Chains A and B, each alone.
Chain A
Amino acid sequence: MRGLTVLRLLAFLAAAVAIAPLIGVVAAAFGDGRADIAAADLVRYALTSMALAFLVGLSTAVLGSVSAWLVVMHSFPGRNIFAWALALPLAAPAFAVAYAYADLFDVAGELRTWMRAVPGLDWGPQMRSLPGAAFVLSLAFYPYVYLTVRAALVNQSSQAIEAARSLGCSPTQALVRVALPLLRPALAAGVALAVMETLADYGAVQFLSVQTLTTGVVRSWFVYGSLEAAARLALPLLGAAALLLWIERLSRKGRTDEAARARWRPIQPTPLEGGRGLLALAFCIGLLTLGLFLPAGWLAIKALDISPDWPRLVRAASHSLGLGLGGAIATVILATCLALSAERMPFTARISSLGYATPGAVMAIGLLAPASLLWQNVPGAVSGLGVGLLLLIYAYAARLMAAALEPVEAGLTRVTPSMVSAARTLGRSETGAALAVRLPIASGAMLTAVLVVFIDVVKELPATLILRPFNVDTLAVIADNYARDERLPNAGWPSLMILALTLPAVIWLTRKITASRPGDLNGRH
């Protein structure tokens, strides 16, 4: 039972895939080469990163938990639709939301120009600022908190709250003294995800002229030409990523028992009467509008002004779709190998998740290391389209391992240890038991993982930019090209097409997640 089994070998392989880029970053950090970035600037970058992470963490915590609380604990018009619709902004890439808001509220934009004509109305939020970036990222990432908190609320038995009420607490007191402390692990996990995404973001933050540590990384690399200095700057970001991952894991520990508790009884939602119901409705509609409809709508309005290069967009869309599915399937297969052995090697599984919280620009530095090995040592590897696509899919796997690992692991928890033992005593080897019992039971969760990674790959930018083979553009790449060239209407089309690809997946996912019952979190098919 001990020693190196096939499963473990596969797990180590998957882990190696995921960790190689990070080793690349660390290795580069120890190289020679310097960038003359002033210490004061570095401090400013670091403070901005921290402030941004803090603001996004705080506002996603509020938006996510309030919306989850409303939807689970209360009934009001549209509640059943909002239950899944509130997660839809997951489909929108943060950079596209940034394009839309920056343009919408630009001081010289249509809206502000029109407002300026009306005396006393000449005011608008400054999107290209720290608060602006926090606003945009909060809208893009609050669904992470919404989904985790919602799951915890649904899984939480109503008994604790009822007990609190019977002990003399008002509903508000029950919320503050009982429900919130019970939700804390879920809240921490969701916020950690949102903050990881925030630190990993470059497209949106850069477009909004907010200079973070990632700016420092990019500046060292591009202006001072020092990959090594860039890698050194990336180390604190890696550290932050590891810390967040640890927090997320830690908070997960307390959650499993909750869902598995036998005496579960669904929470009876409290009806919100009249004005309060409308207020809840307005809150949910407002959140959805700000997170999805307004930015998507504005991009659509801008995009309609121009006629796009359709053949190019369609080609890019097919690349996005193909890479998305290919990347998702490869990532889920690797993550499954890892998850099957995760119990026995938890550290390896955790460290493999690090890529998820690593900023795209940093990951790009790291990815070049294994890519370089391949390019320089395998004849024909650089120019082969197949190898190029494989490399890209590899990059997605390294970057998004955590996104796949999490649902797959959750799915595998539905397989009790005794089921595996049963399969063993019924004549299956460890690998055989995995194939005949663990994988089929977790297959629903694997499907979920495929969709989650698909959505992320379609939105992915930095790895695609730096590693893609000849003549392969994705929608995200095209959007980025246009945005860099200051042609927003042109950038609108690919952004909207990304949304068209990811929305069905997000809808399917969130409907499935919100329809599932406790103890059956990953659905049954």
Chain B
Amino acid sequence: MHMRTNIIMSIGLAALLVACGQGETPAPDKAGAGVVNLYTARHYDTDAALYARFTEQTGVQVNVIEGNADQLIARITSEGAASPADLFVTADAGALWRAQNANLLQPVTSEVLTAAIPANLRDPEGRWYGLNRRARIIAYDSTKVQPADIDTYEEIASPRFRGKLCVRSADSVYNLSLVGALIEAWGPERTGAWTRGVVANMARPPEGGDRDQIRAVNAGVCEIALTNSYYYIRMANSDDAADRDVTTRVKLAFPSLDGQGAHVNISGGGVAANAPNRANAIRLLEFLASPEAQTMVSAGNNEFPASPNVPAPPPTDAYANFKAHPMSVATYGPRQAEAQSLMSAAGWR
């Protein structure tokens, strides 16, 4: 039996070596010629093609660590000055602000970036740039709700929808950023009243993700649901017939905040404070901001391009023609903690 253990151990070690080999990582090159180390919380099946395109254009190899935004932030913090992180990419402006606030990002001035990305979708000091946009809007039951019933954010909290709203938990960063934006626009008191209205309107305690809310509208659990735009667009164009069926009854409305347009959030990125391959990081960021990359991402995940000059590819283009609020997305992050407290106080779990 001694022998058997030995055999198993050898197999294990061999497997481990194989696994290491299959990491297929060219050792990240501190000299900086050929690599860029990407820490990203954005992960789609089209990523591989996107990075391959960048490598094809520049010859720079992309090393990736995926994770959720805050774990990546914690990791970069722990890695300290030795961090190999070059570029940090995540969805949600709040998460980018948290990285900035932890001094993990460095200012970058790039004419390519400032030209491509509108001022309200990037950090004024250039520590991060929006790359793609999503709107946080309303999916509604077209058999029960008229678009006019829901053309402002106030109406989400109005008694008209008492017990008829589906919404996900307060833990969702997208909700936090939305409430953060409302605090920016309305101040905490009015926003507090709004969150209480939302809680009063909930058809059920918050559960599931945005897609679950949309499907709940179709199932008659509620009449309206708060969702990110791309989830709906994805369902409307899904391979799954059941998903497509949902969107024949459930429609998308773009409510307006103070008549200035819908609340938008971004996915974006910034160059890490200690980036060992700073130049490559900027190149990758510029690439991600390029019309080609914005279009590729948009085609892959149904977000809208950040740049107004880049037309959304189909099928997202059908929804792209909405008015977006011009508020700077940089305001969301600093308001998130306050937003969480307001939501908690209102009983929004």
Is A–B contact present in the complex under a CB 8 A cutoff?
yes
Rounded to whole angstroms, the CA-CA distance of A51 and B146 in the bound complex is 43
Chain A residues within an 8 Å CB radius of B176: 223
Interface centre among A112, A211, A322, A525 (most CB of B within 10 A): A322
Given contacts A113-B219, A329-B9, contact A128 B1 (CB under 8 A): no
Chain B stretch 41-79: residues in CB contact (< 8 A) with chain A: 43-45, 48, 63-71, 74-75, 78-79
CB distance from B337 to the nearest CB of A (A): 5
Q: Is B12 an interface residue (CB 8 A)?
A: yes
Q: Is B315 an interface residue (CB 8 A)?
A: no
CB-based A-B contact count at 8 angstroms: 205
- Kindly list chain A residues whose C-beta atoms are within 8 Å of the C-beta of B65: 468-471
Chain A, 480-491, contact with B by CB distance < 8 Å: what is the 0/1 string?
010011100100
Query: Closest CB of chain A to B79's CB: distance in Å?
Result: 5
Q: Which residue of A lies closest to B241 (CB)?
A: A305
**B13/A371 in contact, CB under 8 A:** no
Interface residues of B in 293-309 (CB under 8 A from A): none
Question: From A474, which residue of chain B is reached at the shortest CB distance?
Answer: B19
Per the bound structure, the CA–CA distance linking A482 and B23 in Å amounts to 20
Q: How far is the CB of A517 from chain B (nearest CB, A)?
A: 17
Task: Choose the segment among A35-43, A141-149, A191-199 that binds chain B (4+ C-beta atoms closer than 8 Å).
Answer: A35-43
Chain A contacts of B15 at CB under 8 A?
318, 321-322, 325-326
Check A211 against B18 for contact (C-beta < 8 Å).
Answer: no
Given contacts A329-B9, A486-B209, contact A107 B216 (CB under 8 A): yes
Contact with A along B146-187 (1 / 0, CB 8 A): 000000000000000000000001010100100000000000
Q: Which of A70-78, A177-185, A379-387 contacts B (4 or more CB under 8 A)?
A: A379-387
Residue B83 interfacial (CB < 8 Å): yes
Is there an interface contact between A443 and B2, defined as CB atoms closer than 8 Å?
yes
Chain A residues, CB < 8 A from B215: 106-109
Contact partner of A223 among B11, B45, B219, B337, CB < 8 A?
Answer: B337
Select one of A41, A379, A524 contacting B1, CB under 8 A: A524
C-beta contact mask, A55-78 vs B, less than 8 Å → 1, else 0? 000000000000000000000000
| 1/0 contact string of B1-14 vs chain A (CB within 8 Å) | 11011001101110
Among candidates A102, A318, A443, residue contacting B18 with C-beta atoms closer than 8 Å:
A318
A123 CB to closest chain B CB (Å) equals 13
**When chains A and B are docked, how far (Å) is the Cα of A469 from the Cα of B210?**
31
Number of A positions contacting B (CB below 8 A): 82
B247 to A: closest C-beta gap in Å: 12
Does A204 have its Cβ within 8 Å of any Cβ on chain B? no
Complex Cα spacing A365 to B77, Å: 12
Query: CA A446 – CA B344 in complex, angstroms?
Result: 49
> Closest CB-CB distance, A482 to chain B, in whole Å?
9
**A44 (CB) vs chain B CBs: closest residue:** B349
Hey, which chain A residues are within 8 Å of B208, CB to CB?
102, 106, 128, 209
* Nearest chain A CB to B212 CB, angstrom units: 7
Assess the A376–B4 pair: CB atoms within 8 A: no
List which A445-478 residues lie within 8 A (CB) of chain B: 446-447, 450, 465-473, 477
How would residues 218 to 241 of chain B score, 1 for a CB under 8 Å from any chain A CB and 0 otherwise? 111100000000010000000110
From the candidates B12, B24, B341, name the one contacting A329 in the complex (CB within 8 A).
B12
7 CB contacts below 8 A, A to B, read: A106-B208, A371-B78, A376-B79, A440-B1, A470-B23, A470-B65, A524-B1
Q: Which residues of A contact B (CB under 8 A)?
A: 36-38, 40-41, 102, 106-110, 112-113, 116, 128-129, 208-209, 211, 215, 218-219, 221-225, 227, 305-306, 309, 312, 315, 318-319, 321-323, 325-326, 328-329, 364-365, 368-369, 371-372, 375-376, 379-386, 389, 440, 443-444, 446-447, 450, 465-473, 477, 481, 484-486, 489, 524-525
